[in-house]
Chains A and B, each alone.
Chain A
Amino acid sequence: MTLLEARSVSKHFGGLLALDEVNLSLQNGEIYGLIGPNGAGKTTLFNVLTGLYSPDHGEFFFNGEKLIATKPHMIAERGIARTFQNIRLFGNMSALENVMVGRHVRTRAGVIGAVLRDARTREEEDGIRSRAFALLQYVGIAEYANNLSSHLSYGDQRRLEIARALATEPKLLALDEPAAGMNATETAGLKKLLEIIRGDGVTILLIEHDVKLVMGLCDRVAVLDYGKKIAEGSPQQVQRDPAVIEAYLGGV
């Protein structure tokens, strides 16, 4: 069953066509890789998908419905969570608090509840805390729960961002270069984590430069170049595609 479908999505900045009639479709439960040279439009696609930019034209269908909501917080509510290429954690909050913020969209307490701290609010707050802690354990950084997020190591910050995104209970997890800056051991650990997440029923859309990671992890891969999708298929198919080889080596 199709979870996400992009239909001829285009976006330009000034004279630059960052996305040119891109069509994608992600099946439920797969890990879908999005690769391409720098500046190919991958992050732009993420930003358009998650409502940070509005597309010039084209549309997204998610879980069988058109994604009309264009505001980022509505996208999160619909079940798409993301991480950022240049990690964007809440630096002055602890790791645990970062994940607790991720629960915002699935919880309800308002000002009155916060002040009166009635039974329902207390229960909800306990739920937020225990769920957040469980997620830290899930990604393997529970021991740093009370450390400031800005003081975690690079790899742990990436994991924390994933935990925070998972806290929103997404159907689709969109990861923007999660392995960037990681060493081989950390990358291997990340690969294992992503497989577990997929095993738990979350579909993953992955932008990644680490070709080995993409090839070993993804069920299907799409290649963007100058805003156009130039290839799509299994990692092996894509690897042999002359257009892809051209895109990666062409200019050299």
Chain B
Amino acid sequence: MSRWEKLKRNPRAAWAAFILIAVLLAVLPFLADTLLSRSWVRIIDFVLLYIILALGLNIVVGFAGLLDLGYVAFFAVGAYLYALLASPHFGIHLPFWALLPLGAGVTCIFGVLLGAPTLRLRGDYLAIVTLGFGEIIRIFLNNLNAPINITNGPQGVNKIDPVSFGGFSLNQSHQLFDINFPSVHNYYYLFLALTILVIFISMRLQDSRIGRAWVAVREDEVAAKAMGINTRNIKLLAFAMGASFGGVGGGLFAGFQGFISPESFTLIESIMILCMVVLGGMGNIAGVVLGVVLLVVLPEALRYIGPFEQALFGRVIVDPADLRMLIFGLALILVMLFRPAGLLPSTIRKREFEAEDEVEAQNGARA
């Protein structure tokens, strides 16, 4: 019996756990601010942002089984759309409430446009074509400053309008009940709300007619077709949904940072998001969240290597910034070697492993 089922049977414990988590999430930025530092609140904001992105990619890769290596393209489109429509670059300043759905809608269309030519491709061919699309979009962003200046090229777009609701700008500190809410805290609550929404949508989709159709396509496309699933549409739907999550994430990123440039949207970024999805446990929402937390927090935590070296050897032997990524790479390898299905395999995979154990136990008993 899983822990989840135990909780279900004990509603009081479930409520207690739920309330505990809710309270923890509510005070998290203040905790991090006091116990660690203000920059950690910012890191937590990024964790939330990446959860939105990773859950989008999870629909494409985890649910529908389409290996997309160009996911960052949608992140980029969402970010640039926001930046160009809410900055002095064109002198357009659309409000946030209009930009968010617009971003989701436009990237959704991009998802279908980029997805459509790839529908006939299998696994790795799909991967390389999506990778190509990602690179093409980045190169265009990098170069569309001439002859007409659309993206401002490698310099990127700055002075992007912060997220604000009416006159309430998230970029300023606000006093509420004598508590001071600095900018990063404000963004935390916005991102948290949207992250919960995205998690909710993901969970609902997973356990639905559409979600089952995605998994069916992932498991056996021919059989899925024979069961009456229009695989073309269902794949395009996965691309579109994934892309729109990416677009929302991009818009939030632009408003949060106030500055974007093509450098933020390289292939490495796509790969990192893919690692988050796979490392935690592809197809499993909790796994994806865990993967994001680890991969965003780990490199930051590894910044403490410098003082550690100092303490251990009396001096800094290797520049901690260099060592950081090295350890990060090693961690990726080790996790996959010891947990090939991810840290939290999707429930169905776990069920499979458990069932295998049962089979083995039975065989053992028979022998």
A114→B204 contact, CB < 8 A: yes
Q: Which residues of the other chain, B, contact A100 by a CB distance below 8 angstroms?
A: 212
B220→A105 contact, CB < 8 A: no
Whole-angstrom distance from the CB of B230 to the nearest CB of chain A? Answer: 5
Q: Which residues of the other chain, B, contact A89 by a CB distance below 8 angstroms?
A: 219-220, 223
Q: Which residues of the other chain, A, contact B213 by a CB distance below 8 angstroms?
A: 101, 104
Q: Which residues of the other chain, A, contact B219 by a CB distance below 8 angstroms?
A: 89-93
Q: Which residues of the other chain, B, contact A94 by a CB distance below 8 angstroms?
A: 348, 351
Please provide the chain B residues from 166 to 224 with a CB less than 8 Å away from any CB of chain A in the complex: 200-201, 204-205, 208-213, 215-216, 219-220, 222-224
Stretch from A35-43, A146-154, A177-185, A210-218 contacting the other chain: A146-154
Contacts known (A107-B209, A109-B209, A111-B205); A88 close to B225, Cβ less than 8 A: no
Interface size range on A against B: 35 or more
A77 to B356, CA, bound (A): 36
A115 to B202, CA, bound (A): 8
Set B223, B231, B352: member contacting A84, Cβ < 8 A: B223
B204: nearest chain-A partner, CB-CB: A115
A73→B348 contact, CB < 8 A: no
Decide if A228 is an interface residue (CB 8 Å cutoff): no
Decide if B226 is an interface residue (CB 8 Å cutoff): yes
Decide if B66 is an interface residue (CB 8 Å cutoff): no
Decide if A44 is an interface residue (CB 8 Å cutoff): no
Contacts known (A82-B226, A147-B355); A104 close to B209, Cβ less than 8 A: yes
A168→B352 contact, CB < 8 A: no
Q: Which residues of the other chain, A, contact B222 by a CB distance below 8 angstroms?
A: 52, 72, 84, 88
Decide if A30 is an interface residue (CB 8 Å cutoff): no
Q: Which residues of the other chain, B, contact A151 by a CB distance below 8 angstroms?
A: 352, 355-356, 359
A98: nearest chain-B partner, CB-CB: B216
B208→A125 contact, CB < 8 A: yes
Whole-angstrom distance from the CB of A16 to the nearest CB of chain B? Answer: 21
Q: Which residues of the other chain, A, contact B215 by a CB distance below 8 angstroms?
A: 90, 92-93, 97
Whole-angstrom distance from the CB of B204 to the nearest CB of chain A? Answer: 5
Q: Which residues of the other chain, A, contact B211 by a CB distance below 8 angstroms?
A: 114
Contact digits for A44-87, partner B, Cβ 8 Å, 1 yes 0 no = 00000011100000000000000000011100110001101000
Set A51, A101, A106, A128: member contacting B224, Cβ < 8 A: A101
Decide if A229 is an interface residue (CB 8 Å cutoff): no
Whole-angstrom distance from the CB of A206 to the nearest CB of chain B? Answer: 17
Q: Which residues of the other chain, B, contact A103 by a CB distance below 8 angstroms?
A: 209
Contacts known (A104-B209, A109-B209); A92 close to B204, Cβ less than 8 A: no
Q: Which residues of the other chain, B, contact A101 by a CB distance below 8 angstroms?
A: 212-213, 216, 224, 227, 229
Please provide the chain A residues from 156 to 182 with a CB less than 8 Å away from any CB of chain B in the complex: 164-165, 167-168
Tell me how many residue pairs across A and B have CB atoms closer than 8 Å: 118
Set B205, B224, B229, B355: member contacting A115, Cβ < 8 A: B205
B204→A117 contact, CB < 8 A: yes
A243 to B208, CA, bound (A): 53
A110→B231 contact, CB < 8 A: no
A94 to B229, CA, bound (A): 18
Whole-angstrom distance from the CB of A74 to the nearest CB of chain B? Answer: 8
Decide if A102 is an interface residue (CB 8 Å cutoff): yes
Q: Which residues of the other chain, A, contact B210 by a CB distance below 8 angstroms?
A: 109-111, 114
A76 to B230, CA, bound (A): 10
Contacts known (A101-B213, A151-B359); A111 close to B237, Cβ less than 8 A: yes
Set A50, A93, A105, A128: member contacting B348, Cβ < 8 A: A93
Decide if B147 is an interface residue (CB 8 Å cutoff): no
Contacts known (A97-B212, A125-B209); A105 close to B204, Cβ less than 8 A: no
B348: nearest chain-A partner, CB-CB: A92
A72 to B213, CA, bound (A): 15
Instruction: Please indicate which of the listed interface residues A71, A110, A114, A147 has the most CB atoms of chain B within 10 Å of its own CB.
Output: A114
Decide if B126 is an interface residue (CB 8 Å cutoff): no
Q: Which residues of the other chain, A, contact B231 by a CB distance below 8 angstroms?
A: 73
A102 to B201, CA, bound (A): 24
B352→A109 contact, CB < 8 A: no
A146: nearest chain-B partner, CB-CB: B351
Contact digits for A175-214, partner B, Cβ 8 Å, 1 yes 0 no = 0000000000000000000000000000000000000000
A90→B209 contact, CB < 8 A: no
A81 to B228, CA, bound (A): 9
Whole-angstrom distance from the CB of B181 to the nearest CB of chain A? Answer: 30
Decide if B93 is an interface residue (CB 8 Å cutoff): no
Contacts known (A128-B209, A151-B355); A77 close to B228, Cβ less than 8 A: yes
Please provide the chain B residues from 134 to 189 with a CB less than 8 Å away from any CB of chain A in the complex: none
A87: nearest chain-B partner, CB-CB: B223
Q: Which residues of the other chain, B, contact A88 by a CB distance below 8 angstroms?
A: 220, 222-223, 226
A84 to B224, CA, bound (A): 12
Decide if B241 is an interface residue (CB 8 Å cutoff): yes
B241: nearest chain-A partner, CB-CB: A111
B226→A104 contact, CB < 8 A: no
10 CB contacts below 8 A, A to B, read A52-B222, A73-B231, A88-B223, A90-B220, A90-B224, A93-B215, A103-B209, A115-B204, A121-B208, A151-B359
Closest 5 A/B residue pairs (Cβ): A105-B228, A76-B228, A114-B208, A90-B219, A72-B225
A107-B209, A148-B355 are known; give 13 further A-B pairs, CB within 8 A: A71-B230, A76-B227, A89-B219, A90-B216, A91-B220, A92-B215, A92-B352, A94-B348, A101-B224, A104-B227, A114-B205, A151-B356, A151-B359
